[in-house]
Amino acid sequence: MPAGVLAMRFAVGDVSGNGSGETVVTRGQMAGQQTAGRIDDANLIREAQQGNHRAFEELIRQYDQAVLRLALHLTGSPDDAQDIYQEAFLKAYKSVGNFRFECSFYTWLYRIVTNLCLDHLRKKQVRKEDSAVVNDSDGEEFSLLDTVSDDRAAHNPERDLMRKELGRKIGKALTRLTERERMVFELKHYQGLKLRTIGEMLNTTEETAKNTLFRATQKLRTSLAEMRS
C-alpha cells in the first residue's frame, strides 16, 4: 500500500543534534503523533455524525484516493470506479451516525467499499475478459490508461506492448476467480492488507480469508500455467 496515502502525516524536525539536517523521528514522537492523529479523527467523526459534511470530507481525505484506486483496478472502468467511489462515501456519510468506534474508521469504511465492489463484480459476471480499453458513456472507445498517471521516464514501445499483453493475461486469470476470491486477492496482493484486516472488512474470519486466498493463488497458478502452455 503506498505509504503516502495511508501513512500518518507528521512533521519531523532535525533531532540529530549535530546540525546535519538528519531527520529522525523517535518512537515517542511517533506514538504521540499517532495518538494525536486518532484523536483528530475521533473529533472529525463526531462532527460528521452531527451532519457536518466538511468534517466528513476532511476525514475521508486520508482514504479516498486508495478507495478510488481499488475501485479502478477492480472494475477496469473509470465510470464504474467513480460510481463506487460516490456510492461508498455517500453511504458512509449517511450511516456515520451508526459508527460506534468498535473498530477503526478505516475498517468500517472499507466494509462499505468492499460490499459495493463485490456487488459490482457480481453484476458484471466476471467470467468475461477484462480489457484496458473500454467504452465511455458516449460509446466511444478510450484507454483506461488515459485516466491514470504514468511516471516512468523512458517510454519504450516494445516494453509497453509486452506489458499490455501480460496485463491482458493477468486480467484473464483474475476473471476465473469467484468474486470473493478476487476481492481477497485484490486486498492482499494489490492493497497489501493483512488477512486479519481483510477478514474484518469482509465480515468473516481470518481463517476464511486465508482459505479464500489459498484457493485464489491455486487457481491463478493453474490459469497462468495454462496460458504459458
H or E element at residue 143: strand 141-143
The three three-digit cell numbers of residue 162, written as one number = 509486452
For residue 196, give Cα distances in angstroms to 2, 107, 173, 192, 202: 19, 11, 25, 12, 10
Q: Which residues pair with 143 in a beta bridge?
A: 133
Considering only residues 189 to 228 of the shown chain, the ones binding another protein according to CB under 8 A are 189-190, 194-195, 204, 208, 210-211, 213-215, 217-221, 224
For cell 518512537, what's the residue? 27
Residue among 33 and 208 whose Cβ is closer to another protein? 208
Site for another protein, residues 133 to 152, rule: CB under 8 A: 145, 147-150
How many residues of this chain interact with another protein, rule: CB under 8 A? 56
Near another protein in 170-189, by CB under 8 A: 170-171, 178-180, 188-189
With a CB cutoff of 8 Å and minimum separation 6, the contacts of 14 are 20, 21, 22, 23
Tell how strand 133-135 and strand 141-143 pair up. Answer: antiparallel
124 is a contact residue toward another protein (CB under 8 A): no
For another protein, which is the closer residue by CB, 18 or 137? 137
Place of cell 455517500: 90
CA distance 87 to 110: 12
Question: Which span sits near another protein by CB under 8 A: 6-14, 32-40, 78-86, 103-111?
Answer: 78-86
Look at residues 128, 129, 94 and name the one whose alpha carbon lies nearest to residue 109.
94
From the list 171, 163, 167, 168, the residue with the least C-alpha distance to 127 is 171
**Under the criterion CB under 8 A, does residue 113 sit at the interface with another protein?**
no
Contact with another protein (CB under 8 A) among 65, 107, 131, 175: 65
Q: Which is nearer to another protein, 6 or 68 (CB)?
A: 68
Positions that interact with another protein (CB under 8 A)? 2, 51-53, 56-57, 64-65, 68-69, 72-73, 78, 81-82, 85-86, 89-90, 93-94, 122-123, 125, 127, 145, 147-150, 163, 166-167, 170-171, 178-180, 188-190, 194-195, 204, 208, 210-211, 213-215, 217-221, 224
